[in-house]
């Protein structure tokens, strides 16, 4: 090769190597800077979650209470997260693992439902309120109350008479988070001992009437509430069907935001088997009970759902729907 071309080629290779070394150095520095930023971002996210944990465990907002067991679980993950956050040598993987564990514990905080029974009477009436997993119980001259998990079985009892006035029924008011026709106030039982499953904040009052006439206990109760637990949104239904009927099928109809665009202005079309809907069918067919329909999704994914029940008197078959509720609740 000509000497001139050899010099040119040698110089070009040297320049290329110099450029390559500089590029590698720049990329290495950039990677280090990115890693530092990523570490700081993860540490900041963990700190935000830790503040949220302390607030939810220790500060009661809007009357919301969580089960002690789920709060204890959060604090276990909080303690582990604090060790990682305070460790200056913690890796990004360790920070991300702490974030995941603490976020999961927060998602699993079990919000309790308030159950209250009225005790304002002119005579000495004995009213009791019992449940296996009751927390935050309190009582005064006007009422007794406690907080229980969704689906908890609760029993209330009262006296046969208020003085000379006979007991006529339990008046129940339920707030399950939806604007259901089955929410609101209604007579649910004319027995002095009444057992039910909790689907939302519940208020009960024993009613005493001057007449011995008992209210007809033939109402069909169907309502629906919603919540979230570790990767799953759920719709929780409660049903009470008079004994003269048999349950054919019951469950929940659900749709996402795309489906809701079709039904929001014609809710009567949002029914079992409709287009763009999912259906979760219960296996048990008792005349009373609860059912939870689960949807695997992100916590903030929007869904709409309503409970349904198909029942028969042996000759005619009927279908009833609850009001539609949104997850997450607004």
Between CA 224 and CA 123 the distance in angstroms is 37
Predicted local distance difference test score (pLDDT) of residue 3 = 53
Let me know: does 254 contact 260? Beta carbons within 8 Å: no
Binned at pLDDT 50, 70 and 90, residue 214 comes out as low
Lowest mean pLDDT among 47-51, 83-87, 123-127, 150-154: 123-127
Residue 38 has pLDDT above 90, yes or no: no
The 3-state DSSP class for residue 282 equals coil
Predicted local distance difference test score (pLDDT) of residue 285 = 92
Between CA 162 and CA 282 the distance in angstroms is 41
Query: Which is nearest to 253 in space by CA: 286, 220, 291?
Result: 291
Predicted local distance difference test score (pLDDT) of residue 288 = 87
Strand 325-327 to 303-312 pairing = antiparallel
The 3-state DSSP class for residue 13 equals helix
Strand 165-175 to 201-208 pairing = antiparallel
Where do runs of H (alpha helix) occur along the chain? 3-58, 68-85, 92-107, 257-263
Binned at pLDDT 50, 70 and 90, residue 182 comes out as very low
Average pLDDT, integer, range 16-44: 59
Over residues 285-327, the pLDDT tens digits come to 999 888 999 999 888 899 999 999 999 999 999 999 999 999 9
Between CA 247 and CA 239 the distance in angstroms is 10
Query: Which is nearest to 298 in space by CA: 255, 327, 276?
Result: 327
Higher-confidence residue: 29 or 225?
225
Lowest mean pLDDT among 19-23, 117-121, 206-210: 19-23
- Asked whether the whole model's pTM tops 0.75, one would answer no
Residue 66 has pLDDT above 90, yes or no: yes
Lowest mean pLDDT among 28-37, 184-193, 247-256, 306-315: 28-37
Residue 261 has pLDDT above 80, yes or no: yes
Binned at pLDDT 50, 70 and 90, residue 31 comes out as very low
Residue 203 has pLDDT above 90, yes or no: yes
The 3-state DSSP class for residue 278 equals strand
Highest mean pLDDT among 30-44, 53-67, 173-187, 216-230: 53-67
Predicted local distance difference test score (pLDDT) of residue 176 = 59
Average pLDDT, integer, range 126-130: 88
Between CA 38 and CA 18 the distance in angstroms is 30
Higher-confidence residue: 225 or 309?
309
Chain mean pLDDT for the chain = 84
**Which secondary-structure segment (H or E) carries 217?**
none
Over residues 165-175, the pLDDT tens digits come to 889 889 988 77
Residue 127 has pLDDT above 90, yes or no: no
**Domains detected in the chain:** 29-107 (1.20.1270), 113-208 (2.60.40), 221-327 (2.60.40.2060)
Residue 6 has pLDDT above 60, yes or no: no
Higher-confidence residue: 245 or 62?
245
Predicted local distance difference test score (pLDDT) of residue 21 = 55
Lowest mean pLDDT among 2-6, 36-40, 57-61, 292-296: 2-6
Let me know: does 159 contact 311? Beta carbons within 8 Å: no
Phi, psi at 105, each rounded to 5°: -65, -40
Q: How far apart are the first and last CA of the chain?
A: 80
Residue 9 has pLDDT above 60, yes or no: no
Cα pseudo-dihedral 210, 213, 218, 221, rounded to 10: 10
């Amino acid at each position: 090769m000509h000497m001139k071309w050899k010099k040119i080629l040698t110089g070009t290779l040297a320049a290329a190597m110099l450029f390559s070394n500089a590029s590698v150095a720049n990329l290495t520095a950039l990677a280090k800077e990115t890693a530092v930023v990523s570490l700081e971002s993860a540490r900041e996210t963990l700190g935000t979650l830790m503040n949220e944990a302390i607030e939810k465990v220790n500060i009661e907002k809007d009357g919301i209470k969580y089960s002690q067991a789920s709060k204890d679980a959060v604090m276990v993950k909080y303690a582990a997260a604090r060790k990682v956050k305070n460790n200056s040598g913690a890796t990004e993987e360790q920070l991300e693992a702490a974030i995941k564990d603490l976020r999961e514990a927060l998602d699993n905080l079990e919000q309790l439902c308030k159950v209250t029974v009225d005790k304002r009477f002119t005579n000495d009436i004995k009213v009791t309120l019992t449940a296996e997993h009751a927390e935050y119980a309190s009582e005064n001259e006007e009422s007794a109350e406690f907080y229980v998990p969704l689906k908890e079985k609760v029993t209330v009892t009262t006296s046969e008479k208020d003085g000379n006035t006979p007991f006529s029924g339990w008046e129940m008011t339920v707030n399950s988070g939806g604007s259901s026709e089955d929410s609101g106030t209604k007579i649910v039982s004319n027995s002095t001992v009444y057992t039910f499953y909790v689907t939302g904040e519940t208020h009960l009052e024993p009613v005493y009437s001057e007449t011995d006439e008992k209210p007809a206990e033939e109402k069909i109760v169907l309502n629906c509430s919603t919540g979230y637990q570790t990767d799953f949104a759920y719709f929780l239904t409660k049903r009470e069907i008079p004994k003269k009927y048999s349950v054919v099928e019951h469950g929940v109809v659900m749709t996402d935001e795309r489906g809701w665009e079709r039904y929001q202005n014609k809710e009567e079309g949002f029914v079992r088997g409709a287009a763009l809907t999912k259906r979760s069918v219960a296996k048990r067919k008792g005349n009373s009970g609860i059912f939870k329909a689960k949807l695997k999704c992100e916590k903030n994914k929007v869904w709409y759902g309503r409970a349904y029940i198909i029942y028969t008197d042996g000759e005619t078959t009927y279908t009833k729907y609850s009001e539609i509720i949104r997850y997450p609740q607004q």
